[in-house]
Structure 1
Amino acid sequence: MRLRIPSFLFPATLRGRLLLLGGVLQLLLIVLLTLNTVRLWRDSARHTMQVRVQEVSRLFGAALSGPMSSNDYARAGDLLDRLRAPEGIDYLVLLDAQERVITARSWDVAQQLPAVTELQAGPLPPVAHAEVRIEQGGLLLGRLRFGLSLQEQQSGLERLLLQNLLLLLGGSLLLLLLLATLGLAFRRRLLHLIGEVESSASKRFEALPEIHGDDEVARLSRRVVAMGRSIREQIDVLVQSERKFHSIADYTPSVELWLNPEGKLVWVNTMVQRLTGYSVNACMLLGDFPLSLALPEERARLADTLHKGLAEHSEIRDFEFRAVRRDGSYFWASVDWMPIYDADEHYQGLRLSLRDNTELKDDRLSLRKAVIELRQIQSLGQSYLQRAESERSRLTALLSAMRFGVLFVDNDNRVLFHNPAFSMLWGVSATAVLAGRPIGQVLQQAENRPAIGDIIGHYLEDHALGEERVDFGELTMNDGRVITQQCYQVLDAQGAANGKMWLYEDVTQQRQLAERMINLAERDALTGLYNRHRFQQELERMVSEADRRDGTMALVFFDLDEFKYVNDTFGHGVGDDLLKSIGREIGSQVRRHEVLSRLGGDEFAILVPDCNEFEVSKLAERIVANISQLQFAVDGHVLKPSSSVGVALFPQHANTAAELVAHADSAMYQAKAAGKSTWRLYRAEADQSKSALSRLSWKDRIQEALENEGFELYFQGIYDARTRELEHLEALVRMKDPANPGNMIMPGHFIPAAEKTGKIIELDRWVIRRTIQLLAEKPHAPSIAVNVSGRSFDEPGMPDFIAGMLREYQVDPRRLLVELTETAAVSDLRDAQRFIDALRDTGCVVCLDDFGNGFASFAYLKQLKADVLKIDGFFIKDLPSDRDSQVFVRGMVGMAHDMGKTTIAEFVEDETILNMLVEIGVDLVQGYYLDRPMADHPGLRAPQEHRS
């Protein structure tokens, strides 16, 4: 039973609904205003009461403090009588400090006093109970409890509510009356409009009058007229659509049917007569069409499949069955069906498409054969595709692992691919999608851009589009890094342009290292003074200027007396510190226009322009005096170095720069011959006697040692930096001292003389022969490295000599390492390159010694195809405390490893240096920390000797 709503609760007319809505709104407004008025009045009354309680409390406290302090309780009672009447106080109770009642007004003292009223929230009580403390000088004298009546406020609230309610009710009645009047007029006009619309609708909206005016009803009428015209147009469209539908449905290549959910034929197009011979009406009368078309043996299969489709709302494609036409001829029928729904998604049955499939049956065998062939082709194509995907994956992994930034763009300069290195170099987010974006837009929005204005124009220059490869030089990025950029044209199989590949490389470290190497090219890394290269340039310049202006200049040569003793006794570290002190001391004696250089070892030179013999002699005296006064403390020992100084003047003593150097060097040896710690001006007669005699003496001693087994080999181990296992040995030559049997002369004393007299080549051959003999005698021994001097580069037969010795003693060439001094190799690059190539042909391992000492190490490393690089000990000695040395060593090791070369670090004198070298990545190490040179090195002993 449906619930019937009374008409007065929900009126049927619009006017009644408007009046009801207005009344409800008015009632709601009255309730809200009343509640708000009560809330505001209570808040105001509460505030007023709080203020009044505070004022009365202060009044009572002030009035009663006097009588209470003097215990005049009678006077206090009189004051209570006077204070109660005008203030409308309900009761008064005065208590002493011990909470005993002294006197009371309008209160039964037998009753318990009520709690003090909290006036913070909630409704106001009829009486507000309060308490005031009576104090004097901070002393509690008593308490006064009193009550304030709120009856006057309550009566005021009631009068206010009554007045507001009457006003609101009157306004509401007037508003309802106004709404009723307006609703009546509005209803009349709406009824008139409804009548016109109903009349026009019966004529298919052909004559719907417009109502003029600007009120709501007029605007509504115009909207209704527009709607009527739209409906008229839609009706015409529907008529046309129906005609088109019939045209399309009747002239389709297949028979179209509609079966309702019960399987009854609802509609069929006229194509059915051409296919089956049955007319549309005949099909409708058959009752079971299209089942009646199927042959008896096919009908059950068709019926089951069709009923299943109707029940499950399923669709099917190309269901075939044997059918018979009205004239009795047979054909293969193919039917498709799918469920259809109305606009409300209600199931309406199936739509079927029936066609003659006889010709397709004839082509089935051909099609099946073609399908087999296509599957074979597809399988082959899938194989090619998988192979291409595999190649693509490997190529992507390779590009992602590269440290070079790679960017591919198409012919329109839109990004096709980029690897992670490109994103890192340009500051592009790794998650940013760049594919398809113009290259200019990508690079303009990159965080790390180069400091050039028109980056887009830079990348769209004409030559970047026409040449196969364009080197765009270097870019300095915002973060200070330097990158190189190259553009390669990408060609397809036909040779047509298919985009471009941009290649970027971060060369910041190489550029920084190159700049430091340039500085190293002119400065001695130990003392900071000019090196031999810069000295030679300044010498040539000063000699040229003096010759052009008919001026003078002087060359001052000096070295430290017995400096080899310091190195051999206290170590190279102490020797280096001494050289630094000498450089600082003499540097303070040199004027700005004079050039102080360290030529190598303990040799120094000063170029003095525009000077005379007196000025240079004073400078030489100062050098000798200052060095002799220098005291150098080492482990409790005080070293007092001395120096021998030689001076030569231009043009007084020489006509060329080379001659000036030779004569200054000769003058220095004249000073040494004079007892050392002195200086000498070049004298030609002294040079022709004592210097020549000294060199001749060393030449004879070297020759005698070569003929009488006066040399002996010492060996120092070279170890794996990480495992500290012995890798190979280095052979070091020593000369036996005939004057002191059992003592050895260090190479620093006889090697320079051997080089000057030409005996160095014979000495090199002796060392090589003795080493190869030892390798043949001890097949268990590790490989041995020998040093070859720069003079041997000029000896064409030296590589053949080495190869002949190896063949004669049947020694594997890989067991012999040949060390070449890098500075000597660079000074005669062509001979060195020829010499190294010849050595490599013999199968020997080639090592470049003192690597990094020359100013052009990295520049010539590619030409000098050495297998091993031995880093100069200068960079190793102070490695933990020298930041620049760390940078150089890292650069050398990184570059050597990139070129497939092994690195050796010499002068490893403590654990700290060794650990740092391991961290840097040095392969092999050598130094006093691991072992010292010795004639009977443990590495040469047979395994049984080790066990014994």
Structure 2
Amino acid sequence: MADTITLSELSGQAAAPDPGYPAAPTGDPEAELLSGQSAALLPAWVVILALAALALDALLAPHIPGWRLMPWSGLLALDGALLLLLHHWQRRGLPRVIRHWPTLFAGVHWLTALGWGLGGLLLLPEAPAHVAMAWLGTVLGLNAIAITVTAPLFTAWLLGTLIALAPLAVWARSTELTTGGPLPLACGALLLLSLTLFAWRHHSRQRDLIRELVSTERMRDLLTERQELQQTELRRLRLSRREAQHARKELQARLERLETIFQSVDEALLLLDPRGRILDANGTACVMSGLSLEQLLQRPLQQAFRLQDEGQGLPLPDPVAICLKEKGSVDGPEDAILKLDGERTLPVEYHLTPRIGQDGEVLDMVMVLRDVTERRRQARRLSWHATHDPLTGLINRREFERRLGKLVRHAELHGTVHALCYLDLDHFKEVNDRSGHEAGDELLRGLTRALQGRIRATDTFARLGGDEFGILFYNCTPEKALQLAQGLRRTVEEYDFRWQGVEHRTGASIGLTLIDQRRRPMAELMREADRACYLAKHAGRNRVHLFQAGDEATTGTVQEETAQDGALQLRRFSPLHPGDRGAVCEVVPAGGAGTRAGQPADESDRRLFRSALAALGSGAGSLREGDYVAIPLRAESICDPAFLRFVTDTLDQSGVDPGQICFELDHARLINHMARARSFIIALKARGCRFILDGYRPHPDGIESLDLLPVDFLKLAPMAEGQGMDPEEHYRLIRELSRQGHCRGILTISGEQGDDRLRDALRRMGIDYGLEPEAASG
């Protein structure tokens, strides 16, 4: 029976716990195998014990009282229940049960043997011989079967056997079993010895099998662990290979993206070695150099790209040598150009960046060349606009003063003689008033072209503002300067200008001053030329005057006389409708008291304002009580906060009624200064001054655009400028303009010059003021 348990069965019993319960490793393979072997046979063993007990109960029942059988049967039932409980715990895989299985199983087995031994002591003395023999045979048979169940636990089996058979030996000595002499006892002892030897042999064999199985299981665990490690390493290697493949693909994609960027940028990109030879280049570099990539590779930078100075056309220093020397980035000069085939050049800017190794040496360099043709063209255009007058194309006041300062320093250092000339047009304002600002602008352009033909190529010709021009005569004696200035004056005098059928004649008042080695500030030279021009106008206009040492005192005397005599030329606009309104008298500078060449706008306007206040204070001229004095101002003046302070301070000191003052502003010149003009108007209207908006043209949208400028009068542009539309439509717009102006408290002024019939026509259109037939009075 012991040979029925094989290694595979033991392995299967130990490795296959009850599927209904989770396995719980104990860390002791022998205990696990013992528990597996014993637990596998426990149900059958309990059944055998139960059947043997029932059979003996049946044999003993006729001979033994029931009250003595019941305890014995109950003890056997308790033993069976404990065996089944151990089986249940083992199938659940409880770690403590499996770990202590030999002890637990031996204890329950001994309890079972004790139950049979006690049963023999209590029941057998009163049983007949055949029942005793049956009992003896059953106990011996059960112990023989128990060898299979408890073979690995030989000590437990042997002790259990002795416990179970001890009562039988005692009983045998007191019964007729001994009557046959020692032979039955000797046979019984021999049988017990044989059974013990068999159990020991079976025990040894089972222990060897268990050890072999444990060793096999350990080897299998090691192999399994090694396989798992190999699988883990294989998975890691596969993962690393996939990661490497992914990284390789990412790197390839990144290189492709960089190559795409490298080839698609507009700048020329070059990779250079420390010797300055080209290692790589993009398509833009090939196009810029006119060479293929194969021709560029390993070619020195200076041979492939000839960099020069734009001003003198000289080769630029080698940027590679500078980079190697300084171990840092190199930026090209702002005027760098790239010499192409023939005489062609390309404006460029370049930047060279080195890559430095750990030893501090240059490993390679990256150079970027950028085509800046359009940017330099834009820079030149902006520079031109910053230094030139957009109307005439001449240089402006800022550039003129810069060149004048440079010329002054040159004269001081080298002792050369030059001349500064201020030219101011005569009667230019009448052209604007009669034909409009478009005619005035065209006159300025035409005169500029005519004067440029008379000015030497070495001289400087500038428009300083309005109808004022400045000329620098280089290396010029006083006689030559007077000769050149007279030629300019005759050119202006002889210039024939017609605008829409109307002929206009102008002249030029010119002031000269010499620039020599005497140390004089530039501002002083400008004042001298200004005073000379002032005296030329005062002398009768259309003249040339060279500044002399005593002209400064003469200028002051003339200004005082002008203020005392009220020598202001006035254009009188009288009301066209009955009422108590006073006339509007527009100031026209006489003898240069107003707008002056060579002066800032606000300085000329200050002089004109002081002259007008002097005339109002003295009551001289044709001014009558209730008349308004209209003083023209330029946009530059009203944008200057200092000029506003000057006007308010001068008004406070003069004692003149501010309500008599009207400031005349040019509508076309205020387009870009609406916010500042509004602030200027509001500040002076608060003091009682009035405002005229000059050159206003009727528009189908009405006068809503004037909401930002709270003026008191609108001075209409000449009707000749309205010939672009139907005359009837033009007159209708004027009537609508007058109506809307009256609703806002704004009066209209016409600058048209004519007889009484024209005044009647203006009156019918709703115009409030018209120019009197006597256009000017002194």
Which TM-score band applies after superposition, normalised by the shorter structure? Answer: 0.3 to 0.5
Structure number having the greater strand percentage: 1
Rg (Cα) greater in structure: 2
Structure number having the greater helix percentage: 2
The two structures have a TM-score, normalised by structure 2, of: 0.37
The two structures have a TM-score, normalised by structure 1, of: 0.32
